[in-house]
Amino acid sequence: MHRVPPGRTALIIGLWIVTLGIGFTALWRHSGTAGASPVILAESTREGDLLFDSGVVNSRGQQNEPLLLLFAHPHCPCTAASLNELNRALASAASAKKGGVPARVVVVFVVPPDAPPRWERTALWEQVGKMPGVRVCADKDGVLARRFDARTSGQMFLYDKNNRLVFEGGITDGRGHEGRNAGSDAVTTLLGKAYDSPPTPPVVRHTPVFGCALL
């Protein structure tokens, strides 16, 4: 029987450990790398006509109500965690207000120009359809995503009833990670307050977004 020299065995084991370390490091860096963010936090990006014409808003009379938009890539595996965190935030806010969520909530699935029919109808689309009080729509050719400068799946824009942007960012602390974080805490607090007054203590207005590129 051929026996591997002890020195060579140690070398093989050492190389195997180094390879594992490199793999885990790459995975950790990927999960903790945020996507691109908007260039600026525009206070007036919620154009009523644009939202109405795209079907996000049912009537122009709704424009004085709070609005939460979450942009998503229908094939991004990281986005399920963002949707789960959104669902938890909505449930917490509804419980705090002892009623329904005091905002219109829309998940916008971005569809690139070359996508085949029903490309956006994935398990994520179905997941949103099961979330109480949440609308889902398809953003053909990414028109809304470009207008809002949304770049990463899971990116959220939260507007108060006076059309002010009170939060922009993600609600997970890593790609596909679930659990309490600064973004989900901010959204839960803002929704629970129903934007009647600034929350106390103040919450963050911007957090990094962890997900796939939208376009």
**In the structure, what pLDDT confidence band is assigned to residue 15 with cuts at 50, 70 and 90?**
low
Residues 6 or more apart from 111 whose CB is under 8 A from it? 74, 119, 120, 138, 139, 140, 141, 142
- Is the distance from CB of 147 to CB of 111 less than 8 angstroms? no
- Is the distance from CB of 165 to CB of 148 less than 8 angstroms? no
pTM of the model: 0.75
pLDDT at 55 over 70: no
Taking only the tens place, the pLDDT of each residue in 125-174 is 999 999 998 999 999 999 999 988 999 999 999 988 877 888 999 999 98
For residue 163, what are the CA distances in angstroms to 42, 67, 96, 200? 11, 8, 23, 20
Reduce the DSSP state of residue 189 to 3 states and report it: helix
C-alpha 182: how far from its chain's center? Answer: 13
- Average pLDDT of the chain is 78
